[in-house]
Amino acid sequence: MAMLDGGELLARTLKAAGVEEAFALHGGHLEALFQGCVNNQIRLTDTRHEAAAGHAADGYARSTGKLGVCIVTSGPGFTNVISAVLNAQLDATPTLFIVGAPPLREVETNPLQGGFDQIAMITPAAKWAHRITNPERIPVLTAQAIRMATTGRPGAVVLELPVDVLHMPVDAADVWPAHGMPRGRPRPAPSADEAARLVAFLAGAERPAIMIGGGARYAECGAALARFAELSGIPVVSNTRARGVLDPDHRLNAGAFGTLGVIGALQGLQADRVLILGARLGLLTGGRSPGMLPTDVRIAQVDIEPEEIGRVRDVELSVCADVGSALEALLAAGADAAWPDWSAWSGALVGLRSADEMMFASADPAAPMMHPYLAAKAVVQTAQGKARDPIFVLDGGEAASWAEYHVRARRPGSLLTHGYLGCLGIGQGMAVGAQRAHPDRRVVHVTGDGAVGFHIQEFDTMVRHGLPIVTVVLNNFVWGMSIHGQDAMYGPNRRVITELADTSYDAVAAAFGCYAERVERLADLPAAMERALASGRPACLNVLVDGEPILPATLALLGGAGGGDDEIVIPYYENIPIRRSPAGA
């Protein structure tokens, strides 16, 4: 019988699962796997830092809905990729991280890049993590890892392959076959009774809304969602991961989750019943604050992960199901329902999806320093006008949000940005992964001058692999979200480690071989963006913007800075109440 080493067995298993791309940084522990990837036509895109390779696998998965694969070496390679593992896990992205390790036969000998338990370290950060100790079991355990990553609520899984296991040749007759390989995602559906109760719940509302999240994105349910919205007349809001599931111009697309808060602040109206489809309750749905979801709002929640239902807020109706299957059931159950006329409510809500235009109407296009809102608008609108169906990768604190206002995602996976880890520096890697996944589309990476510094060396990756990503740095010489929060809490004379230099990011990119320009006037920005796109090369625009404008979300995340003597204001979380002793106690 043929003798096969562990690297060949692993590569064959990945290929059988449909893997065609993997993102990596070389390490000798993994040489057998790299050779196996070449033998099995799996393209390897190597980055300059392991975290960037991990973010690239994450970006590939987010933009395609398929499994993303990252391969990094042991020791520092493993520790460098931990943030990427956790970022993918917290945002429920189907990713497989393959990490090397010293030989099993040299455990407890103080080996190179060893001396600690990688699996023990990563297990709390991943959906599943496992060390493979026998080459014969590589196919079956790899199939299990892929199944874990892609079914149920997707997530990040980690496989550790010690170098002796990976390089050991074994008789093909002794290999455990890769049974249980996922053939599509299971789609559990609600019962007929659950669907009927959901329809009755919604039909009894005065001001209903549907909130969709990543569960809708991976369910590939855009057509069913549009049909149900039209059948019921209920407006739909989405988080960034679900942007593009419903066409941005659909008459019932009310934009981002925040629209539910804006209509309360501007018009005194609030949703009274909300159906949450595949979105987790937490910070991005307003946390425990009533700003987005009022205290008395009635909630129904559909999620494939039952333990997520009811987190943070009480849920009246809970359904454990795939979002796509749930929408199909709602269409059947609601076909003959007497849906009220909610056109006044939906019109008011949808009318606020461009509320940002009102908020920043006073921004001066002729100001000496560009307003970041107007700069981001020029960048995004030029890209959307000149490139067919571009993909936007947004990084940085306030920079990402300035750009998000303007993105019109027409397909799922067309907007990639931060999630619950709030990890800066994701942009370069995610852009690489998205461009590899979609060579026929242009990827535009908008970032801040703080975030771009995390992995600025990845301009080299883009050049070496011929990836025509356009990176736009909104350069205001500060850590924007940090400095604005600091000013709000302590005053402008208490700025601490929140200022940056006017660095020539364009010159750095040009040194790596990119097309590059420095842009200082708003009037020059659209043409510069057109030149960057037309270059057909990796490109960088260093766009100087005013550091004074404050993103509204920054102040919202402070929970009311300076709001009184009865609480301590802290950034990003609920303020801490001060409990005072009664007078005379």
Length of the chain: 585
Amino acid at the residue 129: A
Please pick, among 8, 21, 27, 29, the residue that the annotation labels catalytic. 29
| Residues linked to residue 416 through DSSP beta bridges, in sequence order | 393
**Candidates 36, 55, 89, 113; catalytic one:** 113
Angle at 106 between CA 101 and CA 108, to 5 degrees: 95
**Catalytic residue status for 413:** no
Integer angstrom CA distances of residue 225 from 244, 422, 460, 539: 11, 29, 41, 37
Instruction: Tokens 């057509």: give the residue.
Output: 223
Task: In whole angstroms, give the CA distance from residue 196 to residue 334.
Answer: 8
Q: 50 catalytic, yes or no?
A: yes
Backbone angles phi, psi at 580, to 5 degrees: -100, 150
Q: Is 144 helix (H, G, I), strand (E, B) or coil?
A: helix
Beta strands in 289-417 (DSSP E): 298-303, 317-320, 391-394, 415-416
Catalytic residue, candidates 21, 50, 160, 404 = 50
First-residue to last-residue Cα distance in the chain:
86
Encoding tokens for residue 562?
A: 């300076």
DSSP state of 325: H
Torsions phi, psi for 355 (to 5 deg): -60, -20
In SS3 terms, 161-224 reads as EEHHHHHCEEEHHHCCCCCCCCCCCCCCCCCHHHHHHHHHHHHCCCCEEEEECHHHHHHCCHHH
Tokens of 189: 């559906």
Residue 180: name the closest of 139, 133, 128, 129 by CA: 139
Q: What is the DSSP string of 444-500?
A: EEEEETTGGGTTTTHHHHHHHTT--PEEEEEE-SB-HHHHHHHHHHH-GGG--S-B-
Angle CA 358–238–93, to nearest 5: 130
What are residue 292's DSSP bridge partners? none
- Can you read off the two tokens belonging to residue 536? 């057909």
> Is 270 annotated as catalytic?
no
**How far apart (Å, rounded) are the C-alpha atoms in residues 143 and 332?**
36
Q: Which of 551, 566, 555 is nearest to 489 (CA)?
A: 555
CB-based contacts of 192, cutoff 8 Å, min separation 6 = 329, 333
* 325/329 Cα distance (integer angstroms): 6
- Using CA atoms, how far apart are residues 94 and 66, in angstroms rounded to an integer? 7
- Write out the DSSP string of 335-379: TT------HHHHHHHHTTTTHHHHHTTT--TTSSSB-HHHHHHHH
Cα–Cα distance measured from residue 69 to residue 531, given in angstroms and rounded to the nearest whole number: 33
Question: Annotated catalytic, 422?
Answer: yes
Catalytic residue, chosen from 18, 204, 347, 422, is 422
CA pair distance 122, 29, nearest whole angstrom: 19
Q: Which residues lie closer than 8 Å to 129 by C-beta, 6 or more apart?
A: 119, 122, 123, 157, 158, 159, 160
Q: Please list the active-site residues.
A: 29, 50, 113, 422
